[in-house]
Amino acid sequence: MPAWLFVIVAYFAGSLPIGLLIARWWKGIDIRDHGSGNIGSTNVFRVVGKTAGIVVFVLDVLKGLWAPLVAAKLGYGPWWQVGSGLAAVLGHNFSPFLGFKGGKGIAASLGVLLGISWKVGIAAWILWGILVAATGYVSVGSIAASASLPIFTWIFYADNGLAPRLSFATAAGLFSIYRHRANIERLRNGTENRFRQDKKES
């Protein structure tokens, strides 16, 4: 399979709306009509339940993880591995099955990072967990973890294939922060919902 065709396959695989499908199967609802309306694991966690949210999170991570791993297995170079991972994230965020709407790409991006820069993925995940536990805001953890990606990439991979890794970290980080712009505005206004206190997505 040509590398460019694999990137297209990665996009469509990433576009599968796991959160929507799990919520519909688990509780018979359209998750877009509940909570924040987001199809991601946080909204599913709050609206449908803890187990469903964890399932969505794991599957969304896998949507990002498989693409660079399979690309490497097929012998595609680092840039194609990164490109396929980015395509999977874009598919998640702009799914043709949802009118080119979707999630915010945090779990899918984590999956890609675990595939191409696992040290960065683990470090960002730990930072996310610490900040969510400390503040109660999933959005704070997600935004901070996204901003940290280029920094962690530079720290861990400065002498080991930095360019493609840093390109993904920068693009994924900036894009994720952009997707959280409504959360940032609510944080500024003091109206953002805490993860621990209610059933609405932050």
Which pLDDT tens digit goes with each residue over 139-193? 999 999 999 999 999 999 998 889 999 999 999 999 999 999 989 999 999 988 8
Q: Is 95 helix (H, G, I), strand (E, B) or coil?
A: strand
The tens digit of pLDDT for each residue in 32-47 reads 999 888 899 989 998 9
Domain boundaries, the chain: 3-189
Alpha carbon dihedral 11, 15, 16, 19, in 10-degree steps, equals 140
Rg (CA), the chain: 16
The tens digit of pLDDT for each residue in 51-67 reads 999 999 999 999 999 99
What is d(CA 99, CA 176) in angstroms, rounded to the nearest whole number?
A: 19
What is d(CA 3, CA 63) in angstroms, rounded to the nearest whole number?
A: 18
What is d(CA 90, CA 11) in angstroms, rounded to the nearest whole number?
A: 7
